[in-house]
Amino acid sequence: MRRFVLLLTLIGCAKKEKQFQDLQAHKPDSLAVQYNIKGNSYFGLDYQTGDSLVDIQYYDSAMKFFDKAIQTDSLYLNAYTNKVRVLIKKRRLVEALSILNKVESMRPDFVEVIVGIGLVHLKMGDQDLAYKMFERALTIYEKRMDVDSLKFGAQIDVAFTYALLGDKRKAIDEIHELVMANPASEILKETEKTIEEFDRNSFIDNWW
């Protein structure tokens, strides 16, 4: 489980990097940012309870603030993706997919959203559509690898995407190449073990 959490953390770092780029492209309304922060504060509380009814109340409160953020600034993509997290927790997958598709139409190069669309399709049992999205994501990640400042994170993303496609051998090879190039990195060694033990079904069940 610890390794599984590590992988989620690495994916989260990639998302934060992209969100930072979004902020550079569009400076969100300050009130929308505050609503988004408030929504996140409610959303995080569900990890502290074992009561599903209480968790639902937190999700509903988070949703209200994410909706306010979107109403205040319709170009604030982070608020949309946070709302998707809540919808997935509430198992409202069709709505989540609709929002992700809207975000993709606004930012076709938002690769983490493309992966998210694929993951929702996997949750819905549509592997063919999921794989098409993952393959699209691979082409974008591979272009990032041509940029020195993005190469490290992009190669981790490529490995993870191959794991989602069911090609664990290719995923391990990608990470192993990084480990060989960065032998002192304990995070990469741990990531390699994580991918070796990666269970896609378990990941999909626990994703958001």
Going by pLDDT thresholds of 50, 70 and 90, the confidence category of residue 1 is very low
Angle 184-186-192 (CA atoms, 0-180°, nearest 5)?
110
Going by pLDDT thresholds of 50, 70 and 90, the confidence category of residue 55 is low
In angstroms, the CA 119 to CA 134 distance is 9
Question: What is the tally of helices (H) and strands (E) in the chain?
Answer: 11, 0
Give the global pTM: 0.82
Strand segments (E) across the chain: none
Going by pLDDT thresholds of 50, 70 and 90, the confidence category of residue 23 is very low
pLDDT at 2: 40
Q: Which of 121, 117, 119 is nearest to 108 (CA)?
A: 117
In angstroms, the CA 28 to CA 16 distance is 15
Query: pLDDT of 154-206, one tens digit each?
Result: 889 999 999 999 999 999 999 999 899 989 988 888 888 899 999 988 888 87
Query: pLDDT of 111-131, one tens digit each?
Result: 999 999 999 999 999 999 999
**Phi, psi (5° rounding) for residue 184?**
-90, -5
The token duo for 147 is 């940029």
